[in-house]
């Protein structure tokens, strides 16, 4: 799973194989996680073997993470070069696995509206600029669920 | 297994020394530790060295500078816990009977290359690729802790005030200057709610210990410090019930207390990994020194200050003494050895008999700490 056919000329992926673009334009269909064939536990990014049980069979890929809830957050005001400051980082809890949380930038929400526990939707967007190529680095992000 | 004791401890003052080489700083700390032990360098059979950022074989170059070319060196990298990993393996090597007298060294040269945030190579860590910076790692924990336990910005800031007050008494500290609560709160916001004066500085330094068997220790000193337990654990992201608790700290602490047969209530003095203020608040709770949720209140009430019930970071901690990454774990134990021997002058914890060092390292994908070292010492 995972391809880069939807990237524009001035974009590169943060890393291959993390998420899948949909057929057609815009959005994202999900993050590429792994599921244990024995206990069913889900992880992201995908792991070769399950962390949570004694299953020795390879995991299978599964698309996850279209919706999550905000476990905690911070607003980064001093960061590495090539990022647009300030930006908000969220630790997003995904419903597919136990204590499964991933770090992502949040977009489309003001500082005043951020709340722990708020529901979030997966999206894709610019993480930072790549200094070597001058291209936008594209990765997964989350945004508040639109009412 | 044989009992293991520390008979010498030395370090250089931490600071910004961009022109000093790691070999030079490391050798100076080693020579101080040997002199503290009254031991000649020909007695040393092996060295265990922690370092994060140097090209390969840093330990051999340090020993070469200290006249010990040819002595076996085991180099250890485990992020901010690198020299604690070295200490743990040195402890096992002496306990097992492989060696009778070893050096444990931590050393780091940072300021030659780094200003401000520690750079981490693209592609090495997915969290970093997505925008994680070290202050944000602990800011995320702080925010969750505030939500769950009502911890306040003032309580966080108070940790920095306390540790700078301690550091002002420590001639080995990078910063020997007190700061006020309003200075901490009003310093630049780095990653909310963490402000600049709640972040450990970049710095250079080195620290060293001489370790031997408890049986042999009295040949070198009348005041050996026994290693009661030294545990090294790895964080497991899927076990964290919430990032307001550091599961690997709770787990490693339980194991260390069990091996030592000594509990948190027995501790007289603690050096813990206050890389950012929030980490001290979580760690005092997760080590069992405070009930869960009370870490912030303890800092404000003075329980963890010098003169309080359980002094935490009398050296000034990472916030004030400094944090040259690979030097930190050994430097914490150097401070505790001096405390247990009553050699700490104005920052001495009166009558300290039992001490704990806590040293965490790295950033894991579920906001867990990949490396966690806890060591219990008795004097």
Q: How many C-alpha atoms does A68 have within 13 Å on its Cβ side? A: 30
A19-70 residue pLDDT tens? 998 766 666 679 999 999 999 999 999 999 998 889 999 999 999 999 999 9
Residue A102 domain flag: yes
Chain B residues close to A74, C-beta within 8 Å? 136, 139-140, 142-143, 191-194
- Is the pLDDT at B379 greater than 60? The verdict is yes
A72/B143 touch (CB, cutoff 8 Å), yes or no: yes
Q: What pLDDT shows up at residue B221? A: 97
Q: Is B41 a catalytic residue?
A: no
> What pLDDT does A3 receive?
52
Per-residue pLDDT at B116: 80
Of B76, B80, B250, B275, the active-site residue reads B80
Classify residue A126: in a domain, yes or no. Answer: yes
Can you tell me the mean pLDDT for B29-42?
Answer: 98
pTM reported for the whole predicted model: 0.96
B46 has which bridge partners?
B102
Chain B residues touching A76 at Cβ < 8 A: 131, 133, 135-136, 190-191
Closest CA–CA distance from residue B253 to any residue of chain A (Å) = 22
Q: Which domain holds residue A39?
A: 11-144
Does B139 have pLDDT greater than 70?
Answer: yes
Mean pLDDT of chain B: 97
Cα gap A50→B111, rounded to integer Å: 41
In a domain, A87, yes or no: yes
CA distance B210 to B9: 6
Q: What is the pLDDT of residue B121?
A: 78
What DSSP element (H or E) covers A119? strand A119-129
Q: In the prediction, which pLDDT does A2 show?
A: 47
Position with higher pLDDT, A132 vs B143: B143
Per CB-CB distance under 8 Å, the chain B contacts of A89 are 130-132, 136, 140, 191
For B82-99, the pLDDT digits (tens) are 999 999 999 999 999 999
Question: For A5, which DSSP code?
Answer: T
Q: How many domains does chain A have?
A: 1
Q: Which residues 6+ apart lie within 8 Å of B134 measured at CB?
A: B117, B118, B275, B276, B363
Partners of B239 on chain A (C-beta within 8 Å) are 99
Nearest neighbour of B238 by CB, restricted to A89, A98, A104: A98
Task: Give, as one character, the DSSP assignment of residue B200.
Answer: P
Contact B131 A14 (CB under 8 A): no
Rg (CA), chain B: 19
- CA of A25 to nearest chain B CA: how many angstroms apart? 23
Q: Do A78 and B239 touch (CB under 8 A)?
A: no
CA A13 – CA A127 distance, rounded (Å)? 10
In angstroms, what CA-CA distances link A38 with A21, A41, A65, A98? Answer: 28, 8, 21, 15
Look at residue A1 and tell me if it is in a domain: no
A4 pLDDT above the threshold of 60: no
In a domain, A64, yes or no: yes
A15 shares contact with chain B (CB less than 8 Å): yes
Indicate yes or no: CB of A89 within 8 angstroms of CB of B239. no
Domains within chain B, CATH numbers bracketed: 4-113+204-222 (3.40.47.10), 126-199+229-378 (3.40.47.10)
Catalytic (active site) residue B166: no
List the structure tokens of B175: 């910063």
State the Cα–Cα distance between residues B13 and A110, nearest whole angstrom.
45
What's the sign of the alpha-carbon dihedral A100, A105, A108, A112? Answer: positive
Residue A105 in any domain: the answer is: yes
């Amino acid at each position: 799973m995972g391809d880069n056919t939807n990237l524009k000329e001035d974009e590169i992926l943060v890393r291959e194989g993390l998420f899948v673009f949909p057929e057609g334009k815009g959005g994202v269909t999900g993050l590429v996680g792994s599921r244990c064939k024995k206990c069913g536990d889900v992880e992201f990014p995908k792991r070769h073997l399950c962390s949570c049980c004694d299953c020795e069979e390879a995991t299978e890929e599964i698309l996850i993470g279209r919706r999550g809830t905000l476990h905690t957050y911070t607003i980064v005001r001093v960061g590495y070069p090539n990022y647009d400051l300030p930006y908000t980082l969220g630790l997003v809890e995904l419903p597919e696995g136990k204590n499964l949380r991933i770090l992502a930038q949040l977009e489309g929400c003001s500082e005043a509206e951020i709340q722990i526990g708020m529901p979030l939707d997966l999206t894709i967007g610019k993480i930072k600029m790549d200094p070597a190529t001058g291209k936008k680095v594209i990765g997964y992000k989350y945004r508040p669920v639109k009412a | 297994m044989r009992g293991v004791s520390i008979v010498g401890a030395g370090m250089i003052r931490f600071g910004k020394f961009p022109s000093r080489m790691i070999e030079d700083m490391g050798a100076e700390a080693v020579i101080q530790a040997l002199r503290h032990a009254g031991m000649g360098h020909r007695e040393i059979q092996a060295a265990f060295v922690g370092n994060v950022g140097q090209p390969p074989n840093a330990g051999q170059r340090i020993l070469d500078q200290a006249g010990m070319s040819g002595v076996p060196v085991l180099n250890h990298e485990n992020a901010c816990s690198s020299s604690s990993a070295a200490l743990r393996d040195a402890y096992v090597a002496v306990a097992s009977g492989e060696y009778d007298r070893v050096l444990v060294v931590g050393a780091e040269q940072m300021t030659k290359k780094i200003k401000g945030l520690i750079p981490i190579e693209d592609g090495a860590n997915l969290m970093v690729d997505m925008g994680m910076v070290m202050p944000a790692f602990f800011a995320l924990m702080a925010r969750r802790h505030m939500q769950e336990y009502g911890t306040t910005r003032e309580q966080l800031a108070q940790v920095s005030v306390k540790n700078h007050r301690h550091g002002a008494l420590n001639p080995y500290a990078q910063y020997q200057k007190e700061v006020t609560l309003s200075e901490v709160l009003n310093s630049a916001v780095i990653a909310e709610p963490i402000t600049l004066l709640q972040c450990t500085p970049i710095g250079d330094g080195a620290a060293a210990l001489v370790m031997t068997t408890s049986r042999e220790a009295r040949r070198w000193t009348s005041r050996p410090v026994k290693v009661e337990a030294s545990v090294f654990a790895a964080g497991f992201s899927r076990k964290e019930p919430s990032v307001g608790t550091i599961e690997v700290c709770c787990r490693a602490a339980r194991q260390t207390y069990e091996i030592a047969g000594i509990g948190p209530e027995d501790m007289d003095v603690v050096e813990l990994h206050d890389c950012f203020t929030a980490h001290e608040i979580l760690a005092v709770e997760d080590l069992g020194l405070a009930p869960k949720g009370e870490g912030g209140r303890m800092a404000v009430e003075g329980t963890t200050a010098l003169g309080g019930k359980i002094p935490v970071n009398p050296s000034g901690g990472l916030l004030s003494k400094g944090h040259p990454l690979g030097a930190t774990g050994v430097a914490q134990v150097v401070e505790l050895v001096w405390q247990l021997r009553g050699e700490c002058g104005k920052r001495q914890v009166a009558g300290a008999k039992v001490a704990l060092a806590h040293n965490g390292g790295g950033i894991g994908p579920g906001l867990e700490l990949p490396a966690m070292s806890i060591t219990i010492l008795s004097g």
